[in-house]
A and B are shown apart, each in its own frame.
Chain A
Amino acid sequence: MVRVPRPVPGCDIKSLPLRPDEAYLLSRIDGVVSERELSLITGLSQAEVTTALDRLFVLGAVDFNEPRAPVSRRAHPSVAPASGTASSRGTEGPPSRSFEGSFGAGPSSRRFEPTVDAPPASRRSFEPLAELPPPTRRSIELSAERRSGTDTGVDAPPATRRAIDLTVEQPRIVDPELEEPVDLDHAKKKRVIELFNALDDRNHYELLGVAIDADKKQIKSAYWVLAPEFHPDKYFRKKLGTFKQRIEAIFDRLTLAHDVLTSKQRRAEYDAYLEQTRRNRTMAALLEHDPTDIPAVVAAAEDAPGSGPPTLPGRLVGEDPSGSPESVRMRRSFSAKLASHSLRRAMPDMAGSSAVPATPSQPATDPFRRYDATRNEARRLQLERYVLAAKVALERRDLAAAANAYRLAVALAPEDEGLVRKATEAQQQAAAELAEGFLRQAEYEASQGRWSEAAMSFANVCKARGDDPRPHERVAFCTLKSGQNNRRAIDFARRAVKLAPGVGEYRLTLARAYMAAGLETTARVEMERAAELSPNDARMREAIAQLRAQMKKPDGGEPEK
Chain B
Amino acid sequence: MERVIGIDLGTTNSCVAIVEDGVPTVIPNRGGYKTTPSMVAITEAGKRLVGHIAKRQAITNAENTVYAAKRLIGRKYSSSQVKHAMLSASYRIVEGPHGDVRIQLRDKTYSVPEISAMVLQEMKLFAEDYLSEPVTKAVITVPAYFNDGQRQATKDAGQIAGLDVIRIVNEPTAAALAYGFERNVEKTIAVFDLGGGTFDISILEIGAGGVFKVIATAGDTFLGGEDFDARIIDWLVQGFRDQTGVDLRQDRMALQRLKDAAEKAKCELSGVRETEINLPFIISSGRNEALHLQRTLTRDSMESLCGDLVDRCIEICRQTLEDARIEREEIEDVILVGGMTRMPRVQDAVRQFFGREPCKGVHPDEVVALGAAVQGAALVDESKQMVLLDVTPHALGIMTHGSNFDELIPMNTTVPTSRSKIFTTSRDNQTAVKILVMQGESAQAEGNELLGEFVLTGLRRAPKGQVEIEVTFAIDSDGIVSVGAKDLETGQQQSIQVTASSGLTKEEVGAMMEAAKEYLVERRSNDEFEGVKQEAEKVIADIEKMFPKVQAIVQSSDFGRDAIEKARAILERCREAIARKDLTALRGQMDSLARTHRMFKGVIARPQG
Report B-chain residues with C-beta under 8 Å of the C-beta of A255. Answer: 389, 414, 417
Contacts A220-B207, A483-B423; A559 near B435 (Cβ below 8 A): yes
B458 to chain A minimum Cβ distance, whole angstroms, is: 13
Contact indicator B402/A515 (Cβ below 8 Å): no
Please pick, from B379, B421, B425, B427, the residue contacting A233 in the complex, using a CB distance under 8 A.
B379
Bound Cα distance from A482 to B426, whole angstroms: 16
Closest to B476 in A: A232
Contacts A132-B489, A137-B420; A557 near B430 (Cβ below 8 A): yes
A119 at the interface (CB under 8 A from B): yes
A242 at the interface (CB under 8 A from B): no
Contacts A121-B470, A558-B434; A550 near B402 (Cβ below 8 A): yes
A384 to chain B minimum Cβ distance, whole angstroms, is: 55
Contact indicator B424/A486 (Cβ below 8 Å): yes
Contact indicator B401/A550 (Cβ below 8 Å): yes
Report B-chain residues with C-beta under 8 Å of the C-beta of A388. Answer: none
A546 at the interface (CB under 8 A from B): yes
Contact indicator A233/B388 (Cβ below 8 Å): yes
Contact indicator A132/B388 (Cβ below 8 Å): no
B237 to chain A minimum Cβ distance, whole angstroms, is: 45
B97 at the interface (CB under 8 A from A): no
Mask for A246-267, Cβ within 8 A of B = 1, else 0?
0010011001000100010100
B355 at the interface (CB under 8 A from A): no
Contact indicator A518/B426 (Cβ below 8 Å): yes
Contacts A224-B209, A516-B424, A518-B427; A561 near B416 (Cβ below 8 A): no
Contact indicator A559/B379 (Cβ below 8 Å): no
Contact indicator B422/A483 (Cβ below 8 Å): yes
Bound Cα distance from A101 to B537, whole angstroms: 102
Size bin of chain A's contact surface: 35 or more
Contact indicator A121/B420 (Cβ below 8 Å): yes
Report A-chain residues with C-beta under 8 Å of the C-beta of B398. Answer: 559
Report B-chain residues with C-beta under 8 Å of the C-beta of A515. Answer: 426
A231 at the interface (CB under 8 A from B): yes
Contact indicator A236/B379 (Cβ below 8 Å): yes
Contacts A550-B401, A557-B433, A561-B406; A135 near B465 (Cβ below 8 A): no
Report B-chain residues with C-beta under 8 Å of the C-beta of A546. Answer: 401-404
B419 at the interface (CB under 8 A from A): yes
Mask for B207-248, Cβ within 8 A of A = 1, else 0?
111110100000000000000000000000000000000000
Closest to A254 in B: B414
B501 at the interface (CB under 8 A from A): no
Report B-chain residues with C-beta under 8 Å of the C-beta of A486. Answer: 424, 465
Bound Cα distance from A5 to B385, whole angstroms: 43
- Enumerate B364-386 residues with CB–CB distance to A below 8 Å: 378-380, 382, 385
A234 at the interface (CB under 8 A from B): yes
Contact indicator B488/A248 (Cβ below 8 Å): no
A251 to chain B minimum Cβ distance, whole angstroms, is: 7
Mask for A199-234, Cβ within 8 A of B = 1, else 0?
000000000000000000000110111011001111
Contact indicator A559/B420 (Cβ below 8 Å): no
Bound Cα distance from A227 to B206, whole angstroms: 13
Report B-chain residues with C-beta under 8 Å of the C-beta of A223. Answer: 207
- Enumerate A256-300 residues with CB–CB distance to B below 8 Å: 259, 263, 265
B22 at the interface (CB under 8 A from A): no
**How many inter-chain residue pairs (CB < 8 Å) link A and B?**
132
Contact indicator B213/A232 (Cβ below 8 Å): no
Closest to A550 in B: B401
Contact indicator A549/B420 (Cβ below 8 Å): no
Bound Cα distance from A555 to B427, whole angstroms: 10
A533 at the interface (CB under 8 A from B): no
Mask for B565-601, Cβ within 8 A of A = 1, else 0?
0000000000000000000000000000000000000
Contact indicator B426/A560 (Cβ below 8 Å): yes
B577 to chain A minimum Cβ distance, whole angstroms, is: 48
- Chain B interface residue count, CB cutoff 8 Å, equals 53
B56 at the interface (CB under 8 A from A): no
B464 at the interface (CB under 8 A from A): yes
Contact indicator B489/A557 (Cβ below 8 Å): no
Report B-chain residues with C-beta under 8 Å of the C-beta of A547. Answer: 401-402
B182 to chain A minimum Cβ distance, whole angstroms, is: 15
Contact indicator A227/B213 (Cβ below 8 Å): yes
Contact indicator B434/A557 (Cβ below 8 Å): yes
B477 at the interface (CB under 8 A from A): yes
Closest to B426 in A: A518
Closest to A244 in B: B416
- Enumerate A542-560 residues with CB–CB distance to B below 8 Å: 545-547, 549-550, 555-560
Contact indicator A224/B211 (Cβ below 8 Å): yes
B136 to chain A minimum Cβ distance, whole angstroms, is: 13
Contact indicator A228/B491 (Cβ below 8 Å): no
Closest to A249 in B: B418
Report B-chain residues with C-beta under 8 Å of the C-beta of A265. Answer: 325
In addition to A231-B387, A233-B387, 10 A-B residue pairs with Cβ atoms within 8 Å of each other are A137-B420, A139-B486, A232-B416, A237-B379, A252-B417, A483-B423, A518-B465, A556-B427, A558-B434, A560-B424
Q: Can you spell out 14 A-B residue pairs with CB atoms less than 8 angstroms apart?
A: A224-B207, A224-B208, A225-B209, A236-B379, A248-B416, A252-B417, A482-B422, A483-B421, A486-B424, A516-B465, A549-B402, A558-B400, A559-B433, A560-B426
Q: Top 10 closest A-B pairs, CB basis?
A: A121-B420, A483-B422, A518-B464, A549-B402, A224-B207, A546-B402, A228-B387, A518-B426, A556-B427, A546-B401
